Structure formats: structure tokens, C-alpha cells
Amino acid sequence: MKDDYTQRNLELLASRGVELEEIVDIVDGLQRPYNPDMERKLCEEHVLGVLRKQQTFHAIQLAIKIDTAVEAEEFSKQYNYTVGQDEGLFGVDESVASAIPLLYGTIAITNFGYLDKAKPGVIAELDSNHEAGKCNTFIDDIVCGIAAAACGRLAHNNTPKYSKPLK
């Protein structure tokens, strides 16, 4: 059953323009300083581990439904505007997405906050794509949550050679 969640999550993400490799890139970029000898495949394994979770599936599904409903203008004018513009004080998008890293401890939560602010890779692309009524308000944070959770999962399941980044 878990593999069903993984495949379905990958399909849902792809429907919004997010590919597995783009999330792996983010995890690799965050973890490489702490484990320079790590094989990239390890990052992919941990992203897939996060995508196997039923809770991840529910968060992705909800996020996409809200983003697409805003695109279709299914909510009130005010709500469509607030979500569509990703207003800073809205915060519900981060609340939904934080359900994913919450499964993987403090490391995942702090990485989530960092990714939400730094917006590396596909996260920045999603965050800035508002052309033709596109709404990525929830999905960009979902990607942050998945990558952050994978970092937490990796950190808790591996003993790196170095405990701090090399200078």
C-alpha cells in the first residue's frame, strides 16, 4: 500500500510541475555540507521515504486542491486574492505543509523554515509563477515540507562522517 502513496504523490507533484529530481537537488544541497562523501542516491531514497507516508499524500492532495480551486476562482473574491497573491500573513499554506516535516523532528522543522525563506531551486520557480492566474501558494510550501522532512529523515538515519559542515 505504501508504494501506492509514493507513486500517487509523484504523480500529484508532477501535475503541478514538480519532479522528484528537483526535490532531490534541494535535499542534496542542504545535506552535502554535513556529509560531503554522501551518495546522491541516499537523498532520493529519503525523499521517496517521505513520499511513502499517508500523511504526505493527504497534505499534497489538499494543497493542490486549494491551489487549483483558487485558479478556478471557486472561493470568495477576497480569499482567491489572498491565497492567489500568497499574502505574507496568510500562513495557512505553511501550516498545512508543516504537517510533513513534523513527522521527522526538530531538524526537519528548522529546515522547513529555512527552505521557506531561502526558496532554492524549484521552490523559487513555483513561488514566482503567477502567470495566467496560476496559484502555487500551497504547493511551494509542500515542496519545502517534503525536502525538509527528507533532510530530517536522512540526518536521523545516517551517521555522517562530519558533524558540522567543512569550511
Task: Note the pLDDT tens digit of each residue in 134-164.
Answer: 999 999 999 999 999 999 999 888 765 556 6
- In SS3 terms, the chain reads as CHHHHHHHHHHHHHHCCCCHHHHHHHHHHHHCCCCCCCCHHHHHHHHHHHHCCHHHHHHHHHHHHHHHHHHCCCCCHHHHHHHHCCCCCCCHHHHHHCCCHHHHHHHHHHHHHHHHHHCCCHHHHHHHCCHHHCCCCCHHHHHHHHHHHHHHHHHHHCCCCCCCCCC
Number of domains in the chain: 1
Query: In whole angstroms, what is the distance from residue 54 CA to residue 3 CA?
Result: 10
Gyration radius of the chain's alpha carbons: 16
Confidence class for position 34, pLDDT limits 50, 70, 90: confident
The share of the chain scoring above pLDDT 90, in percent, equals 80
Residue 75 forms part of a structural domain: yes
Cell of 153: 529523515
Q: What is the model's pTM?
A: 0.92
Cell of 90: 496568510
Residue 137 forms part of a structural domain: yes
Residue 165 forms part of a structural domain: no
Task: Output the domain CATH number for residue 146.
Answer: 1.10.3760.10
Residue 161, amino acid: K
Residue 13 forms part of a structural domain: yes
Task: Note the pLDDT tens digit of each residue in 65-75.
Answer: 999 999 999 99
Confidence class for position 2, pLDDT limits 50, 70, 90: very low
Residue 166 forms part of a structural domain: no
Of 123, 124, 154, the residue nearest 47 (C-alpha): 154
Backbone angles phi, psi at 151, to 5 degrees: -65, -45
Query: In whole angstroms, what is the distance from residue 146 CA to residue 46 CA?
Result: 10
